[in-house]
Amino acid sequence: MSKPKRHVFFVSDSTGITASTLGKSLLAQFEDNVELEFTTIAFIQSIEQIEDAVKKINEYAKTSEYRPIIVATLIELEYRHILTKANALVIDIFGQFIQPLELELGLKSSHAIGRTHNYSRGEETLSYYNRIEAINFALQHDDGASIKRYEDAEIILLGVSRSGKTPTCLYLAMNFAVTAANYPLVAEELTEGLPPILRPHRHKLFGLTIAPENLQRIRQQRYPNSSYASLTTCQIEVQKIEALFRQLQVPYINVTHTSIEEISAMILKQTGLKRFFK
Amino acid sequence: MSKPKRHVFFVSDSTGITASTLGKSLLAQFEDNVELEFTTIAFIQSIEQIEDAVKKINEYAKTSEYRPIIVATLIELEYRHILTKANALVIDIFGQFIQPLELELGLKSSHAIGRTHNYSRGEETLSYYNRIEAINFALQHDDGASIKRYEDAEIILLGVSRSGKTPTCLYLAMNFAVTAANYPLVAEELTEGLPPILRPHRHKLFGLTIAPENLQRIRQQRYPNSSYASLTTCQIEVQKIEALFRQLQVPYINVTHTSIEEISAMILKQTGLKRFFK
């Protein structure tokens, strides 16, 4: 039996990131039994635009077996009111939570559109520079490309080739302004202990490991049928690097079946590195 | 008068990304009048861990003038129940929205922890590869480093140095698996029309521009007191590149006071590039 198909619209006066992040989290609870399709309608900034959005959603509803689901982040009360005219289940995030916060804080919300991310408007500040600097740092120190400023790194990731070091460094930089470097331990280095260049930074090292079968599939995508991508190579490298991590007491996590978001959050939790907010 | 200080705890059985994204969106509405501090308690996966979290929050509450605010994404009903014992305002996201979704879908939620991001567990699939490939593409095609596969790019960003091209490309890759390249138009190129290498890809070009004063501040951080960072240089470059965008009819946006998230979402909206979901 095929799964019922449900269409989800993320409707926002800003980027739609909050609506889609929350909507996907909620709907992940049902994904074994529903097929989901997503559309984002972002930067709604006038009555006309919200009315257009409702029209579009209602057009869709007419041709569809089930009514759509809307997940909305709209500050303006009037926009939220117009949205209720859609033939859809409306998950109205701000409608639900702004009021209890107003009561708790004893304040009225500013109803300021474009305030839906506090790392945004009006900031030529530390927050922008910090993120950009962290991204530049990750790019310059990717894959051992430069080791000049290892002393400025907050963390140095170790792992075999294709274990996810680069995307993790970039994610940590982009989202948390963490200055992260990574060093690719090549096969020959794995049995020689820690390379001299890393020795002064031992307390910053953090390891990634991965199931050899998955590593093989990832490498296979890149260099099909190479010795690099063979299961034997993957098994040997993973075995050696895990032995090295244990020998050197480098903390490490297994990233098999783990998203970049999860790897990054696990690293922050284990290392106690501060998340960067605002 | 100093603003009241409120501490916000993001409590999650997974990464905490959904809780912090939503929490920060909501609280951004009040940030003119409250000073906010954030702590994430992620990967709660046992009764003991949620009890520890409550204990920690209550300890904090004792020493603080105002009670804390908790934003929680916890699937387990029992964990959510334990959380109500915290001396805090609890914004219980799943508690609020899972039930209306169950009714709408005619399904019970799977109550599966770690399902809070549907781009996660159990996927050696397209979704992981697509993101990683897009990130690699962005790295290889950053700053005109390689122009080999411009035909594979979905978008090519143009802009003066330090206008935000690199972080935007990486963000588009990381979050939406969009293959994005960028090409740095140096000052001399700005008056010579489109460089030959870009001519076949004109339909993929998208421009970023920025207020010269802000560009100056950003460049100043990097190369203080250089001619590159002088206001005059910035003014001339910005003026020329905007003229070029208009002359070539390249769509462009002004990124002054705009976060990486917002720039990326605006580009997706204007170009109609598909967001990548799962």
pLDDT digits (tens, 9 = 90+) for B38-86: 999 999 999 999 999 999 999 999 999 999 999 999 999 999 999 999 9
Record the tokens describing residue B235, joined without a space.
């003014």
For tokens 């990832």, the residue is A218
In this model, does residue B124 exceed pLDDT 60? no
Nearest-angstrom CA–CA distance, B129 and B133:
6
User: What pLDDT, on a 0 to 100 scale, did the predictor assign at position B61?
Assistant: 95
DSSP letter string, chain B: -PPPEEEEEEEESS-SHHHHHHHHHHHGGGTTT-EEEEEEE----SHHHHHHHHHHHHHHHHTSSS--EEEEE---HHHHHHHTTSSSEEEEHHHHHHHHHHHHHT------TT-S-TT-SS--SHHHHHHHHHHHHHHHTGGGS--TTGGG-SEEEEESTTSSHHHHHHHHHHHH---EEEEE--GGGGGS-S-GGGGGGGGGEEEEE--HHHHHHHHHHHSTT-STTSHHHHHHHHHHHHHHHHHHT--EEE-TT--HHHHHHHHHHHH-PPPP--
pLDDT for residue B50: 98
Is A165 annotated in some ligand binding site? Answer: yes
Q: B131 falls in which pLDDT band (50, 70, 90)?
A: confident
Domain of residue A14: give its range. 5-105
Long-range CB contacts (< 8 A, 24+ apart) of A143-147?
A143/A182, A143/A183, A143/A184, A144/A182, A144/A183, A144/A184, A147/A181, A147/A183, A147/A197
Give the pLDDT score at A94. Answer: 92
One-letter amino acid for residue A30 of the chain? F
* B172-190: average pLDDT: 86
pLDDT at A54: 98
Same domain as A246, residue A153? yes
Q: Out of A40, A74, A105, pick the residue that ends a domain.
A: A105
Residue A59: pLDDT above 70? yes
Report percent pLDDT > 70 for chain B: 91
Indicate whether B239 belongs to any domain.
yes
Radius of gyration of chain B, Cα coordinates, nearest whole angstrom: 24
Asked if A183 and A202 touch (Cβ cutoff 8 Å), the reply is no
Measured CA to CA, the distance from residue B148 to residue B164 in angstroms comes to 22
- A88 and A140 together in one domain: no
- Order of all β-strands in the sheet with A205-209: A180-184, A155-159, A205-209, A252-254
Q: Are A239 and A170 part of one and the same domain? A: yes
pLDDT at res. A179? 92
Is position A113 within any domain? Answer: no
Chain center to CA of B231:
29
Per the structure block, which two tokens stand in for A278?
């605002």
Provide the percentage of residues in chain A whose pLDDT is more than 90.
Answer: 68
Token pair recorded at residue A220 = 């296979």
Q: What is the pLDDT of residues A222-248, one digit of tens each?
A: 899 999 999 999 999 999 999 999 999
Residues in chain A: 278
How much is the ipTM here? Answer: 0.86
Cβ of residue B100 closer than 8 Å to a chain A Cβ: yes
Return the pLDDT at B122: 37
What is the structure's pLDDT at A124?
42
Candidate from A33, A42, A124 with C-beta closest to B265: A42
The closest of A112, A124, A109 to B259, measured between CA atoms, is A124
Average of per-residue pLDDT across B192-213: 91
Q: Are B6 and B66 in contact (CB under 8 A)?
A: yes
Domain check: are A134 and A179 in the same one?
yes
Whether residue A218 lies within 8 A of chain B, CB to CB, comes out as yes
Does B120 score more than 50 pLDDT?
no
Closest approach of A190 to chain B, Cα-based (Å): 25
Residue numbers in A near B166 (CB within 8 A)? 135-136, 139
Q: Is residue B113 part of a domain?
A: no
User: B118 in contact with A at a CB cutoff of 8 Å?
Assistant: yes
Q: Which residues are B40's β-sheet partners?
A: B10
CB atoms near residue A243 (< 10 Å): 12
Question: Same domain for A252 and A161?
Answer: yes
Pairing relationship of beta strands A252-254 and A205-209 according to DSSP bridges: parallel
pLDDT in tens, A61-120: 999 999 999 999 999 999 999 999 999 999 999 999 999 999 999 988 876 655 544 443
Rg, C-alpha atoms of chain A:
24
Distance between A245 CA and the closest CA of chain B, angstroms: 23
pLDDT score at B114: 52
Query: Is residue A278 predicted with pLDDT exceeding 50?
Result: no
Is residue B151 located within the same domain as residue B252? yes
Q: Among A97, A274, A275, pick the best mutation site for testing chain B contact (most B Cβ within 10 A).
A: A97
User: Tokens 């993101």 correspond to what residue?
Assistant: B131
| In the predicted structure, residue B223 carries a pLDDT above the cut 50 | yes
Whichever domain contains B45, its CATH number is 3.40.50
Q: What is the pLDDT of residue B1?
A: 64
Q: Of A22, A257, A265, which is closest to B42 when you measure between CB atoms?
A: A265
- Number of inter-chain CB pairs under 8 A, A vs B: 244
Give me the pLDDT at residue A125, please. 52
Residue A188 pLDDT exceeds 80: no
Q: What is the mean pLDDT of residues A27-38?
A: 90
CA distances from B172 to A248, B157, B168, B209, B275 (A): 37, 11, 6, 18, 9
Q: Which residue has the higher pLDDT, A196 or B10?
A: B10
- pLDDT, residue B125, reads 52
Residues B99 and B149 in one domain: no
- Kindly state the helix (H) or strand (E) to which residue A9 belongs, with its residue range: strand A5-12
Among B105, B138, B172, the domain-final residue is: B105
User: A104 forms bridges with which residues in the sheet?
Assistant: none
Where does a domain end: A44, A70, A105? A105
Question: Is A119 a domain residue?
Answer: no
Residue B116 lies in a domain: no
B179 lies in the same domain as B214: yes
**Is 80 exceeded by the pLDDT of residue A126?**
no
Instruction: Please give the pLDDT value at position A116.
Output: 45
Q: Are residues B72 and B151 in the same domain?
A: no
Whether A40 maps to a domain, the answer reads yes
Q: Structurally, how many domains does chain B consist of?
A: 2
Residue B119 in any domain: the answer is no
Domain shared by A85 and A134, yes or no: no
pLDDT of residue B149: 80
**Residue A166 with chain B: CB contacts under 8 Å:** 135-136, 139
For the residues A190-219, what does the mean pLDDT come to?
90
Digit-coded pLDDT (tens) for B140-159: 888 767 767 888 899 999 99
Domain CATH code at residue A238: 3.40.50.300
Q: What is the C-alpha separation between B139 and A163, in angstroms, rounded? A: 17
Domain identity same for B226 and B178: yes
Phi/psi region, residue B86 (left: phi>0; alpha: psi -120 to 50; beta: rest), is beta
Give me the percent of chain B exceeding a pLDDT of 90.
68
- pLDDT, residue A119, reads 41
Indicate the pLDDT class of residue A122, thresholds 50, 70 and 90: very low
How far lies A185's CA from each of A34, A160, A223, in Å? 43, 6, 19
Task: Kindly state whether residue B133 falls inside one of the protein's structural domains.
Answer: yes
Q: B117 pLDDT exceeds 50? A: no
What's the pLDDT at B222? 84
Mind telling me how many Å the CA of B178 is from chain A's nearest CA?
15
Question: Do A45 and A101 fall into the same domain?
Answer: yes
Contact B93, B72 (CB under 8 A): yes
Q: What is the pLDDT of residue A151?
A: 87
Please report the pLDDT score of residue A1 as a whole number. Answer: 64
**Of residues B182 and B111, which shows the higher confidence score?**
B182
